[in-house]
Amino acid sequence: MPAEPAGGTAPAVTGGGSTTAGSPSEPDAPGGPGPAAAPHAKPAPRVGRRAEGVWGWLFVSPMVIVLGLFLVLPTLMALWVSLLDWDGQSNPFSGQADFVGLDNYRDLLTQDGLDRTLFATSLRNNFYYVLLTVPLQTVLALGLALIVNQRMLRGRGALRTTFFFPSVTSSIAVSTIFLFLFQGSGAVNTLLSWIGVKGPNWFTDPRGVLSLLLGGLGIVDPNRPAGVLADHSFMGLSWFEWLSGPSVAMCTIIALSVWTTSGTFMLIFLAALQNIPRELEESAAIEGVNRFEMLRHVTLPALRPVLFLVLTLGTIGTWQVFDQVYVMSQGAPGNTTLTPAFLSYSAAFGDADFGQGAAIAFLLLALILTMTGLQRYALRERTARPGRKR
């Protein structure tokens, strides 16, 4: 008998030929069993996944409870109050307050009256506040970040602290200081007098700066506008009032806001600049790119997500401006510094009309969400579409 190979395994014989079973180096004979299939990995048991989900919800439950009690629940309560005629003296959920539905929103948007005029005035003032504050603080913050990000600059730490210091100072204290600076005989007008300019009474001047500019050029008469600007109106305000620009008093609040918020956004830009790879800058320098081209084609594209963040935070913060207005003007002079946030506060706690105050807050929320969505659409990543094949 033939001797068995070492290991005690006999060769498999098929069709007169002998091959070793399962040998990967030789082809399988016709009709043979072929190579053995690899065993399939068993799926993870569902019990373990459910346990992970339970533990995950258990760990996040404290924050979910806090957000539910102090954010979601008050928001729903305020939404219910906006549908009531409630003076704040009774329980709004006991049926003692009158349910008026959407009447508070109609009074603010469609019904002719003082409520709609004041709301439109606050929107106009806040629109110019946002239009000037957000670009100025963004450009200033980016410029400061580019300055303090230079590696060869001496005293970078001291400069960063100096630029950031106004952001950590109490807004109430800064607003009080600005009241003294911009008085009729304050430091600002004193400095202007040294160069032969007579400064205005900043906080008592309700004139719009754009109307003053057009009046100085002789295009319109700010005191008695005529024509289309005076004959047509929107939400109770004439077109001239919509287009007159921010008042002189509002410009002081804009200057205060730009000065106090640029430091915070400077730090955000600075962190993003330090994360840009040096290889990009070095390769661009080798190609002979100047500083402006470096900023336009290398730095700004890399800062696109951070730029969207800064613009979004700036837009939300400027539409919610309250404390500066409360300390410096409270809407005066002539409601030219009135904002929706302050109007909501004064309607609720000043006039005891909490329903209208809540309605103003929710209209402001809708406006902020709309503006944020438009910014996200404008700053989205644009990818090249593939061309059509002919």
C-alpha distances in Å from residue 228, one per residue of 215, 233, 240, 307, 334: 16, 9, 9, 39, 23
Q: Residue 225 is which amino acid?
A: P
What does the angle CA 335 – CA 336 – CA 342 come to, to the nearest 5 degrees? 60
Query: How far apart (Å, rounded) are the C-alpha atoms in residues 73 and 175?
Result: 33
Query: Among the residues of 149-276, which ranges form H helices?
Result: 156-168, 171-181, 187-194, 209-216, 228-231, 239-243, 248-274
Do the Cβ atoms of 307 and 300 come closer than 8 Å?
yes
Query: How far apart (Å, rounded) are the C-alpha atoms in residues 165 and 187?
Result: 21
Do the Cβ atoms of 389 and 119 come closer than 8 Å?
no
Query: How far apart (Å, rounded) are the C-alpha atoms in residues 175 and 96?
Result: 41
Query: How far apart (Å, rounded) are the C-alpha atoms in residues 369 and 120?
Result: 19
Which residues are 13's β-sheet partners? Answer: 18
Greatest Cα pair distance in the chain: 126
User: For residue 88, what pLDDT is reported?
Assistant: 86
User: For residue 76, what pLDDT is reported?
Assistant: 94
Q: Do the strands 98-99 and 84-85 form a parallel or antiparallel pair, or are they unpaired?
A: antiparallel
> What does the DSSP 8-state code read for residue 208?
B
- Phi, psi (5° rounding) for residue 316? -65, -45
Q: Residue 353 is which amino acid?
A: D
DSSP 86-107: --SSS-TTTT-SEE-TTHHHHH
Strands (E), the chain: 12-14, 17-19, 84-85, 98-99, 233-234, 237-238
User: For residue 9, what pLDDT is reported?
Assistant: 46
Class in CATH terms, 112-208+245-338: mainly alpha
Question: Coil, strand, or helix at residue 265?
Answer: helix
Q: Give the chain's end-to-end CA distance (angstroms, integer).
A: 75
C-alpha distances in Å from residue 242, one per residue of 115, 116, 124, 235, 348: 17, 14, 6, 10, 26
Which residues are 14's β-sheet partners? Answer: 17
User: For residue 37, what pLDDT is reported?
Assistant: 54
Do the Cβ atoms of 341 and 364 come closer than 8 Å?
yes
Domain with CATH 1.10.3720.10 in the chain: 112-208+245-338
User: For residue 83, what pLDDT is reported?
Assistant: 95
Express the helix, strand and coil content of the chain in percent, nearest 5 each.
60, 5, 35
Q: Angle, to 10 degrees, between the axis of helix 304-319 and the axis of helix 354-378?
A: 160
What's the average pLDDT block by block, 10 residues per block, for the chain (390 residues)?
46 44 48 54 62 87 93 93 91 86 93 92 95 95 91 83 89 91 89 89 88 83 77 85 91 94 94 85 77 83 91 94 92 92 94 94 95 87 57
Structure tokens at 276: 């840009």
